Amino acid sequence: MDSIRQALQAIDAAQQQLHQAVHTARAQGHSWAEIGTALGVSRQAAFKRFGKPVNPYTGEPMPARPTSTITTLTEKLFNLINEGDWEKVTELIHPEDRAELSPEVIRDAWIATASDYGTFTGCHDTIATTASTKNGTEPLDGEITGLAVGVTTLRFEAGEYLGRVAFDRTNLIKGIYIVPTDATETFF
C-alpha cells in the first residue's frame, strides 16, 4: 500500500511541476500553440487546462471547474435519458435550449438508437474535452473554464455510439449529439 501512496504523491508532484512549467513558458512569451505542441494537444486544450481567462468586462478571473464535473454530468444525462426521467433531464438543459432539446426530441433519438443497437448497458471511457467539429476526443484533466464537452462511449447490447454533450460555463447543457464511434465530424 505504501507504493500506491508514493505513486499517487509522485503524480501530484508531477502535476504541480507541469503547471509551473507551463506558467513559466507563458511568462517567457511562448504561445499556447507552442505549449500545446509540447503537450501533444491543441492550443485550445492547453489553454483550457492551464490558462487563466479573465472576464473582458470586469477583469475578474473566470471560475474554473473540475473536468470530473463534466464527465459526471455527461454520464448522469445519458442514464437519466435511458430511465426516461424527463423532468431531471430538462433541469440539466439551459433554458434557452429546452425547446430544441425537448423530451420528445431526445426520447425519439434514444428510441431510434435503441432500435438499431438494443438495450443500453452504460457509459464507458467518459472524458471532458473542448468543442471540435472533427469529433475530437482529446481528454482534458484538472480544471476547465468556459465551454466544455463531455464525450462518452454509449454501450448497447449490439454496438456502441459516442455521446457528446456541450456544457456552458455554468454546467448547463447547450447541446446533445449522438454519433457513430467512427464519425469524423460533429457539430461541437
Q: Evaluate whether 51 touches 145 at the Cβ level (below 8 Å).
A: yes
* Percent helix, strand and coil across the chain, each to the nearest 5: 45, 25, 30
Q: What per-residue confidence (pLDDT) applies to 12?
A: 79
pLDDT at 186: 75
Contact 186, 133 (CB under 8 A): yes
Residue with C-alpha cell 437519466? 80
The SS3 call for residue 108 is: helix
Tens of pLDDT along the chain (188 residues)?
888 888 878 887 888 899 899 989 999 999 999 999 999 888 888 888 888 888 889 999 888 889 999 999 999 999 999 999 999 999 999 999 999 999 999 999 999 999 999 999 999 999 998 887 565 667 777 888 888 999 999 999 999 999 999 999 999 999 999 999 888 777 77
Query: Domain residues of the chain, as ranges?
Result: 2-58, 66-180
Q: CATH classification of 66-180, choosing from 1.10.357.10, 1.20.1260.10, 3.30.930.10, 3.10.450.590?
A: 3.10.450.590
Non-local CB neighbours of 41 within 8 Å, separated by 6+ positions: 49, 138
Please give the Cα distance from 142 to 11 (Å, whole number): 12
Grid cell locating 160 = 456502441
Amino acid at 66: P
Spatial neighbors of 99 by CB under 8 A, at least 6 apart, are none
Q: What are phi and psi of 129, to 5 degrees?
A: -150, -170
* pTM for the full predicted model: 0.78
Instruction: Give the model's pLDDT for residue 41.
Output: 84
Q: Of 49, 163, 158, nearest to 110 (Cα)?
A: 163
Q: Which residues contact 96 (CB under 8 A, 6 or more apart)?
A: none
Tell me the H-state helices in 28-66: 32-39, 43-50
pLDDT of residue 64: 86
What local confidence, expressed as pLDDT, does residue 4 receive? Answer: 86
Q: How far apart are the first and last CA of the chain?
A: 42
